[in-house]
Structure 1
Amino acid sequence: MSSEPLTFRIDKEGDFDGVTPMTLTRGDFQVTGQRYFIKSLGGAAGQIPGDFFGLFTDLTPKLVGIASSSWNPMSVARVVSKEDPDVFREEVDLTPRMTHVAMFPGDRLAIYTRDGSRVCIQLVVTELAESEHVNLALQTPPEAYWRRFRIIRGDGGGFNHQPLNATWEPDWTWDTPTNMLIANEAVNGVIPARDLCMYPRFQGCYVSVRYSGIGAGNGELYIVDGHLREANQVQADIKNAAWSKSFFVSHDDLIGLFTPPPAGGTVVCDLELVRVQPGDRLRGRYERGL
């Protein structure tokens, strides 16, 4: 087992498919200086095991640098779990520039290319010692991921934020193919921001919405304060299938949706949002004199 970086070059006639295991061993490679491993492949291939062909143990975290011979934006590498290969921890573009990913015990490296011709993949693999793993964690703070929601109203009516005193808490269902939370409901009222942001109660969100399927006229958007239920119109001219301008909601605000009746029987509202870290919004407003 190696504790020093090893470099691999794998040439393949045709694309890597991302799913077929590469059942190679050390003896299948041409080795230079005990550090550089080269192999040419034909046939189906696409997933590299966590022990990297028996040269490492599968039970240690690793830092893997990866590059390819093409700038094709459809070619990617994914870190996938052995227990659930349909879920990936990380996805990076495959380009001639070296990109690094962290792999944990049991992970696999899935290679997807879409060049339709000969492809070269280069890897630099290093096992992480305890201190190296800690340093990597300190250099990789949590990201503020966006979230997508979709509300489908199929009763022939439009969205209506009235009455303001009616609280609408959609019953969200996670849809894996679209990576969205979806609700099929025909309810009037305002939606608590906490039902969308789902963050600690002292954090707000930036939000944008899109209406689809509306008939004549435009959609509208409102922010409602959580104490007196007073509404402020954020935007009154949201055209069909167009995203609204971005707006801020605090943790105790409510969101009001309004559309004319649908052209058909269904109107849809998509919402996209991202968390605002405490202090960031006020700092930005201060810097712009707002």
Structure 2
Amino acid sequence: MTSKAQSMALMVPQGSSSLEAYVQSVNHIPMLDAEKEYELAKRLQETGDLQAAKELIMSHLRFVAHVAKGYSGYGLPQSDLIQEGNIGLMKAVKRFDPTVGVRLVSFAVHWIKAEIHEYVLKNWRIVKVATTKAQRKLFFNLRKSKKRLGWFSDDEVGMVADNLGVSKKDVMEMESRMAAQDPAFDLASDSDDENDFAPTQYLEDQASDVASNVEAANWEANAQTRLFAAIKTLDERSQHILQARWLDEDKTTLQELAAEYDVSAERIRQLEKNAMNKIKACMVD
């Protein structure tokens, strides 16, 4: 990847299609093995080599995108969550000590989550007070009209509605919005109601191993691709037998396939075994 492409990868674009392209891009950046990671981290630690820092950051952007995906339930832009996570990654790279004996991803995940948590805390808001131009106008005028603390009486609501040229319903709704409190980010310590809600209930498990999760997902996707490629190398009859015996929802018996091909059940079993051995050989290569 060129220097220009690396710089672009650090900029998280807006928009679903652009974001998808970004995620695909960072997933194609090669991961570092332990030896290379140690070498780069030592260069950064001892000489302040910025190119080494960039390589460490670029190779771990995929982990940030994976962590940020776990916070998508807050209604906040995914691109912003990733961007905040990238800031956490950069802070982690700056503080990483390779001589401790842990991989960078294990160290960085805490910094990545800390930045995302801070962003969620600062931006969490269930109800927007005024979302339209008319609501914003009513909001500011209502604040000027409210001379005391507490709720308006019915007469006051009518008077304000007349003065501002709006309905009594609009005045009462805006007053309710202005009086509303942001929900607590965590549940109260004495809460025992199963219907109680707090944003913290949707945070990821701090004990999750991000590196292992991403590695497992990548391995599964790669294994599946290789499996279907191996199946395509078989002759049509062998493919059909494996499909019927293992891949279809309603499995077919040896006897049913034997009747279909007018051979013995033992012959179908042999064909199935031979096909399995060919696939195993392709998967090992």
Q: TM-score range by the shorter chain?
A: under 0.3
Q: TM-score, normalised on structure 2?
A: 0.24
TM-score by length of 1: 0.23
For CA contacts below 8 A with separation 6 or more, give which structure has more relative contact order: 1
Higher Rg: 2
Going by fraction, where is helix more abundant, 1 or 2?
Answer: 2
